[in-house]
């Protein structure tokens, strides 16, 4: 790429939920199209920081990791919309700066129950190392102070920030609002009087000026507003990805502001990268070598004792003797120890056995993990893999390096108790659940856009009902418009429906909200906010990672699946009721060759049986006619 004349520092991705209509891939494409060798992200969170870093760098574009943070002018843990009236943009220069940004973003969501995320100037000052401080542009701290409190307060605030950030402080100049000329003049006066550099930026929320209307609809969805309201919150139509030529023309009178965007990008020498898994420790104290030795000895001792107890209770599988079990156990342990996974097995065993000790129903084991004799010996699974001819190497293979991954089922009613134990045992600052993002899908986006456009509900609902509702394989809106003739016909004959569908197609697939993943829990080897930024789930008031399932693992964290399975609750309740009438049942000792049960399976009478209750599985059972388990 040619030497640039300007670098965008303030791109907002779709992770600025219901604010930006730009996916990260689109930002990458815009950089390539416009010959921009670097680009800064400045979402109000760090949801997409690692994804952005990897995608940009893989296409030869330098990623600059920043975040727009709401700023509270008081230092309490709770803030109101009156005290949070401004924002600032912080950009990571170095690895220390990135880690400080992780902490500040995490702090912002852990106060006020995340209803209004914010940080204080004191917190920013405490974690200022390695960060650029940009004053926030049109919505920034200096603009806000000039309007609300006057120049004296703005100058005092500027001097306070400069005393901490020195040459890393830049006064942002944005020209997306023609009515802000007076404010701009005052900002430039402060900059020159206080010897602070200025930098030209443009908040980017959409691709081109033609996309402004669709983004305006998105803002209305965010604020539960309608497009006919003249006083609704709006994003400037200038908030698109301007070319270098456009920015140079716009700031022709302030060439230093353009040049400083390049200087900032050249001084950012760090980007987050993907990491190999960093396994959490079961043994919390001691050096790395001491911890490894202790965990290895513990695993071997517990596995051998567990195997002895299992064989005493259940015996060996037909045709196999104890020595075969011992040899296989030794082989599995050798592989586990060589791959340094002792701690992982011990943690999973600890979680499951604590649950069993506290009478929380736990599944017997499923997936490839059921093929491990070590897992059976430790109580992780309740299935003898030798009896069922299950192969350990499907789960863990030294020739195919991958993390072990036990799918563990728990009674959903008491699943939260399990997660609470994990936090208490391994540290509240080292355990979190994982974020997930809901999207604007075909039906939902039409309903949202229809409400904003004030189209009668019945008309919108009728249109939505034409789109098949198949959660397992949802049809996209673009597929529906192409494949469903009735929708295509209505679109051609009704101009309002045509606009509704055009806007909906533009917004489909954008992230709508953040929530907590149903199963994933991560345990880190140190404080979590050293690895990933954290978020507070407003519904559950619990900490979750800001990176989703894919990117939290790419960041080096190890995921544990704590699944909730209703079948376990049903089985537990049935056993309790049978015990109450004097017919106790030990579910771990049931007869796998019970003919009456097998007959039910052969007849496809498996409603309510986990993984056998669908029509397809019932049909397969009837055709396969199984005679054993």
Full 3-state SS string of 102-148: HHHHHHHHHCHHHCCCCEEHHHHHHCCCCEEEECCHHHEHHHHHHHH
Measured in degrees and rounded to the nearest 5, phi and psi for residue 147 equal -70, -40
Is 137 in contact with 201 (CB distance < 8 Å)?
A: yes
User: Over the stretch 240-260, which tens digit does the pLDDT of each residue have?
Assistant: 999 999 999 999 999 999 999
Measured in degrees and rounded to the nearest 5, phi and psi for residue 471 equal -55, -30
In 3D, which of 416, 331, 339, 332 has the Cα closest to residue 381?
332
> What six digits make up the tokens of 562?
């704590």
The topology under which CATH files domain 24-204+241-267 is TIM Barrel (3.20.20)
Quick one: pLDDT at residue 81?
A: 46
Rg (CA), the chain: 29
Quick one: pLDDT at residue 77?
A: 46
The answer for residues whose C-beta is within 8 angstroms of residue 319's C-beta and 6 or more apart is none
Is 177 in contact with 138 (CB distance < 8 Å)?
A: yes
> What six digits make up the tokens of 417?
């108790």
Separation of alpha carbons 365 and 263, rounded Å:
56
Q: 0.85 cut: is pTM over it?
A: yes
User: Over the stretch 381-395, which tens digit does the pLDDT of each residue have?
Assistant: 999 999 999 999 999
Quick one: pLDDT at residue 585?
A: 87
Helix axes 415-426, 342-357, angle to 10 degrees: 130
Do 24-204+241-267 and 439-512 fold alike per CATH? no
> What six digits make up the tokens of 64?
């600059």
Pairing of strands 511-523, 558-564: antiparallel
Separation of alpha carbons 496 and 491, rounded Å:
8
What residues of the chain score a pLDDT lower than 50?
77-82
3-state class (DSSP) for residue 409: strand
| Segment (H or E) for 443 | helix 442-452
Separation of alpha carbons 433 and 521, rounded Å:
4
The DSSP code sequence of 50-108 is HHHHHHHHHTT-EEEEEEEEEEESS-SS---TTTEEEEEEEEE-SHHHHHHHHHHHHHH
The topology under which CATH files domain 439-512 is Arc Repressor Mutant, subunit A (1.10.10)
For residue 335, count CB atoms less than 10 angstroms from its CB and return exposed for 0-12, middle for 13-18, buried for 19 or more: middle
Question: Domain coordinates of the chain in residue numbers?
Answer: 24-204+241-267, 274-412, 439-512, 570-624
Quick one: pLDDT at residue 74?
A: 65
H-assigned helices in 268-371: 288-314, 322-338, 342-357
Helix and strand numbers (H, E) in the chain are 24, 13
In 3D, which of 78, 75, 77, 76 has the Cα closest to residue 121?
75
Quick one: pLDDT at residue 79?
A: 47
């Amino acid at each position: 790429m040619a030497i640039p004349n300007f670098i965008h520092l303030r791109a907002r991705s779709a992770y600025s939920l219901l604010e930006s209509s730009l996916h990260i891939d689109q930002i990458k494409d815009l950089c390539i199209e416009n010959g921009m060798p670097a680009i800064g992200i400045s979402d109000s969170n760090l949801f997409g920081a690692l994804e952005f870093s990897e995608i940009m760098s893989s296409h030869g574009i330098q990623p600059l990791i920043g975040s727009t943070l709401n700023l509270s002018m008081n230092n309490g843990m709770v803030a109101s919309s009156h005290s949070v009236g401004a924002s600032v943009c912080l950009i990571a220069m170095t690895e220390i700066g990135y880690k400080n940004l992780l902490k500040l973003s995490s702090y912002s969501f852990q106060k006020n129950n995340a209803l209004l995320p914010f940080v204080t100037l004191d917190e920013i000052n405490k974690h200022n190392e390695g960060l650029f401080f940009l004053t926030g542009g049109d919505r920034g701290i200096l603009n806000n102070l000039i309007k609300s409190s006057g120049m004296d307060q703005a100058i005092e605030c500027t001097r306070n920030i400069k005393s901490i950030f020195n040459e890393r402080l830049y006064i942002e100049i944005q020209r997306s609002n023609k009515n802000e000329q007076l404010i701009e003049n005052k900002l430039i006066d402060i900059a020159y009087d206080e010897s602070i550099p200025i930098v030209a930026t443009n908040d980017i929320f959409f691709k081109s000026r033609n996309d402004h209307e669709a983004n305006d609809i998105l803002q209305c969805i965010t604020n539960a507003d309608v497009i006919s309201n003249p006083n609704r919150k709006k994003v400037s139509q200038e908030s698109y990805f301007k070319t270098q030529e456009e920015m140079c023309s716009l700031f022709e009178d302030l060439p230093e502001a353009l040049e400083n965007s390049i200087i900032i990008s050249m001084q950012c020498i760090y980007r987050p990268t993907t990491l190999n898994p960093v396994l959490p420790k079961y043994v919390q104290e001691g050096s790395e070598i001491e911890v490894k030795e202790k965990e290895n000895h513990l695993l071997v001792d517990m596995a051998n004792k567990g195997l002895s107890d299992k064989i005493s209770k259940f015996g060996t599988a037909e045709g196999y003797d104890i020595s075969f079990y011992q040899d296989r156990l030794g082989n599995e342990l050798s592989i586990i120890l060589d791959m340094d996974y002792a701690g992982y097995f011990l943690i999973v065993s600890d979680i499951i056995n604590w649950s069993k000790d506290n009478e929380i129903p736990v599944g017997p084991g499923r997936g490839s993990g059921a093929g491990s004799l070590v897992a059976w010996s430790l109580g992780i699974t309740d299935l003898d893999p030798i009896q069922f001819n299950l192969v350990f190497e499907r789960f863990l293979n030294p020739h195919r390096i991958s993390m072990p991954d036990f799918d563990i089922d728990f009674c959903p009613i008491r699943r939260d108790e399990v997660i609470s134990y994990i936090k208490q045992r391994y540290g509240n600052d080292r355990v979190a659940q994982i974020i997930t993002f809901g999207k604007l899908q075909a039906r939902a986006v039409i309903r949202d856009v229809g409400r904003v456009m004030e189209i009668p509900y019945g008309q919108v609902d009728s249109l939505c009902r034409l789109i098949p509702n198949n959660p397992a394989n949802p049809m996209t809106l673009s597929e529906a418009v192409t494949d469903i003739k009735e929708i295509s016909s209505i679109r051609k004959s009704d101009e309002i429906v045509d606009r509704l569908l055009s806007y909906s197609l533009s917004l489909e697939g954008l992230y709508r909200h953040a929530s907590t993943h149903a199963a994933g829990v991560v345990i880190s080897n140190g404080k979590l906010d050293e690895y990933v930024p954290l978020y507070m789930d407003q519904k559950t008031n619990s900490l979750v990672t800001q990176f989703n399932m894919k990117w939290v693992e790419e960041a080096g964290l190890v995921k544990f699946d704590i699944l909730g399975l209703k079948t376990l609750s049903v089985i537990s309740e049935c056993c309790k009721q049978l015990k109450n009438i004097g017919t106790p049942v030990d579910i771990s000792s049931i007869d796998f060759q019970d003919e009456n049960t097998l007959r039910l399976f052969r007849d496809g009478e498996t409603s309510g049986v986990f993984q056998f209750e669908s029509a397809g599985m019932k049909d397969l059972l009837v055709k396969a006619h199984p005679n054993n388990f």
